[in-house]
Structure 1
Amino acid sequence: MSTPYASAAPYYARYRPPYPAELYALLVDRFALDGSQTVLDLGAGPGTLSLPLAPLAEHVYAVDPEPAMLAEGCGLAEEGGHGNISWLRGDAAGIGRLCLPRIDLCVIGGAFHHMDRVRVPADLDAVLAPRGGIAVVTSAAAAWPAVVDEVRARFLGPGHPAAPGAVPGPAGGRADGLAGGPAGGLADGAADVDGAADVDGAADTDELRDTEDHLAKSAFSRVETTTWERSVRYTVDQVVGLQFSRTCSSPALFGDRKDAFAAELRQALLDHCADGTCTRTVTVAATVATRPRR
C-alpha cells in the first residue's frame, strides 16, 4: 500500500524549489569544501541538498527511510551525472549502523525537528571529523491563498491538519527528510516538513531557537544561524504540484479523487490569481554547529 511519503515523492522531487546558492557558498566557506570531503545528508528525501552538494564533495551519503524518495533522488542523480552519491535506506536512529567513513559535514533538512535532537548530535560526534560539523537547513513560507486550504478541506474534511482553523501538527510536515518516523522521511514529515522543508506560515522562530538550543548543548556547541529571504513566483500548476508534495495532502490521501482535487484547485487558483501566478515570501535558515575551538 502506498504511504503519504511514497506518493508525495515524485511531486517533492519535481516541485520543491531549490535552496538558494548562498546556502552552498556558506557551506563551502565554513567547511572548506573543495571536492575532497565526505558529506552525510540525513533525511535526504529526493536529494534536495545531496544533489547540489555532490559537485562540492568527493562523496555524499544520502540517507532516508522512504524507498520512493531515494528512488527519485537516484534517478535525478543519474540524469545529472552525479555518480558520487550513495543512496542509503535508514533513519536518524541508526547512524551507527550505517558503517559510514569519517564525515566532514552532515546536513539535515527540516526533518531535524522530528528527530531525537539530543541523540542525533551525540551519534554524529562519533563519525564527524575533528573540524567537521552539522548544518540544519530549514525553510518557512508565507501561507498560500486561503482557497488552497478551502479546496483541500472540501476533499479531505474540515478536521484535516491542513484545513482552515485546524490545529497544526508537529513542525510543519514531513520533514521531508528523514527522522525516524514512518518510513517516509525524515519523518520528514507529518504536516509539511515536506522536506526539504517547507512550512506554511511565517518563519518559525521557535523551531530555530529549538535547533540552536539543542545543538548548543551538544558537542557541536559553536552555533550560528544565517537566513535568506526571497520572493518566489509559482504558476498555478506548480502550486497544485506542491500540494501533492506535502504529506498532509499527498496523492495517497485523495485516492481516486486526486484528479478532481487538482482540477478544482486549479480553477480556484485561476479565479483568485488574475495573472495565473502566486507569489510568496520564502525564508531559508541554515544553523551551522561545530565543535568549540581549542
Structure 2
Amino acid sequence: MSTPFASAAPYHARYRPPYPAEFYTLLADRFALDGWQTVLDLGAGTGANSLALAPLVDHVYAVDPEPAMLAEGRRLAEERGCTNVSWLEGDASVVSRLCLPRIDLCVIGSAFRRMDRVRVLADLDAMLAPRGGIVLVSSAAGPEGQSPPWISVVEEVCADFLGADGGTEDGVAGPGDPARPEDLARPEDPARLEDLDEHLAKSAFSRIDTTVWNQRLRFTADQLVGLQLSFPRSSPALLGNRQRAFESALRQTLLDHDPGGTYTRTVAVTATLATRPRP
C-alpha cells in the first residue's frame, strides 16, 4: 500500500515551486563554490536543492528517509544528465553513520523543524570541514499580509474531502513540506524560524547571517491541483478513490472563484547561513 509520502512524490517533483535563483547565487558566493566542494542535502525530498547545486560543486549527497522521493530525484537527475548526486536513504538520526566524506556545505529545508536539532547540529559539527557551514532555507507568508482569497477556496475543498485536519490526526508532514496542506508555498511560522536561530546560536555554528527575498509565485488551476497532491496530508494515498473527484472539485471551484485561471502569492524566502565563529 502506498504511503502518503510515497504517493505524493511524483507531484512533489513536478509541482513544487523552486527557491529563487538568488538563493543559489548567494551560496555560491558565500561558500566560494567552484566545483571542488562536497555538499550534503539533508531531508532532500526529490532533490530540488541537490540538482540546483550539482553544477556548482564536485558532489552532492542527497539524503532522505522516503525511497519514493529519492526515486523521483534520481529520475530528474537522469533527465538532466546530472551524474554527481548520490541518493541515499536515511533520516537525520543516521547521517553520521553514512560514512560520508568531509562536507563543505550542508543544506536543510523546512525538514529541519522535524529533526532532533541538538543532535543533528552536533553530528554536523563532526562532519563539516573547518570552514564549512549550514544553510537553513524556508518560506513564510510574504509582505502582502493576509493570504490571497484563493487559499480559502483550497482550504474549503480540502476540508470537504479530508476533514479540517487534512485527513490526518498527527499533523505529520513529509520531506520539505509545510505544516498544513493549504500552505501552498512552503510557508513557515516566523516563531518557528526564531526558534531555529536559537538552536543554531547554541551550537558550534553560532555565526549566523540571514537573507530574505520576496518571491512572487504564479499558479494555474491545474498547478494548484497538482501542488495539493504533493502534500502528504492531501496525497493520493489519503484521497484513495476520491482523488479524481477531488481534482475536479478543486479545479472547478478555483475557476469559479477566478475564471482568469491565474493565482498568485508572495512568499518571503529566508536563508539562514550558519558557520563556526572565526578565531
TM-score (ref. length: structure 1): 0.88
SS in 2 for 1:32: coil
Q: Separation in 2 of the partners of 1:272 and 1:140?
A: 24
Letter of the 1:146 counterpart: S
The equivalences for 1:1-20 within 5 A come to 1-20=1-20
Q: Distance in 2 between matches of 1:84 and 1:239?
A: 32
Q: 2:151–2:182: 8 Å Cα contact kept in structure 1?
A: no
Q: Which residue pairs with 1:223 in the alignment? A: 208
Identify if the C-alpha distance between structure 1 residues 192 and 97 changes in structure 2 by more than 3 Å, giving closer, same or farther. Answer: farther
Residue equivalent to 1:54: 54
Provide the secondary structure at the position in 2 that maps to 1:138.
strand
Q: Does 1:24 align with 2:9?
A: no
Render the CA deviation track for 1:42-91: whole Å, top value 9, x for unaligned: 00000011000000110000000000000000000011111000000011
1:220 alignment partner, SS class: coil
CA distance in 2, matches of 1:140, 1:4: 24
Aligned counterpart for 2:243 among listed residues 249, 258, 262? 258
State how many pairs are aligned.
273
In structure 1, runs of 5+ residues without a counterpart are: 178-187
Q: Is residue 110–residue 193 contact of structure 1 (8 Å, CA) maintained in 2?
A: no
Deviations 1:197-222 (A, max 9, x none): 713xxx52112111111011100000
Q: What is the match of residue 41 of structure 1?
A: 41
TM-score by length of 2: 0.92
Do the aligned residues in 2 keep the contact of 1:269 with 1:276 (CA within 8 Å)?
A: yes
Which residue matches 1:244? 229
Q: For residues 41 and 11 of structure 1, do their structure 2 counterparts lie closer, same or farther at Cα, with a shift above 3 Å needed?
A: same
Change (3 A) 1:271 1:153: same
For the residues of structure 2 that align with 1:234 and 1:145, how far apart are their CA atoms? 12
Write the distance in 2 (CA, Å) between the matches of 1:162 and 1:2: 15
Q: Cα distance, 1:168 vs. partner?
A: 9.8
CA 1:60–1:50 in 2, change beyond 3 Å: closer, same or farther? Answer: same
> Taking structure 1 as reference, are residues 109 and 48 closer, same or farther at Cα in structure 2, changes over 3 Å only?
same
Equivalent residue, structure 1, for 2:186:
198
Aligned equivalents of 1:168, 1:283: Cα separation in 2: 27
Rounded to whole Å, the distance in 2 between the matches of 1:145 and 1:206 is 22
Secondary structure in 1 matching 2:95? helix
Partner of 1:152: 158
Give the secondary-structure state (helix, strand or coil) at the position aligned to 2:83.
coil
Q: Aligned partners of 1:80, 1:47: CA distance in 2, in Å? A: 12
SS at match of 1:145: helix
Structure 2: runs of 5+ lacking an equivalent: 142-146
Give yes or no for the alignment of 1:113 onto 2:98: no
Task: Kindly state the Cα deviation for residue 273 of structure 1 after the two structures are TM-superposed.
Answer: 1.2
Question: Hey, what's the Cα distance between the residues in 1 that align with 2:220 and 2:202?
Answer: 43
SS at match of 1:226: strand
Question: Counterpart in 2 of 1:132?
Answer: 132
Equivalent residue letter for 1:83: T
Root mean square deviation of aligned Cα: 2.2
* Contact map agreement 1:194 1:245 (CA 8 A) in 2: no
Report the identity percentage: 66
Letter in 2 for 1:230: Q
Within the candidate set 248, 259, 262, 1:274 is matched to 259
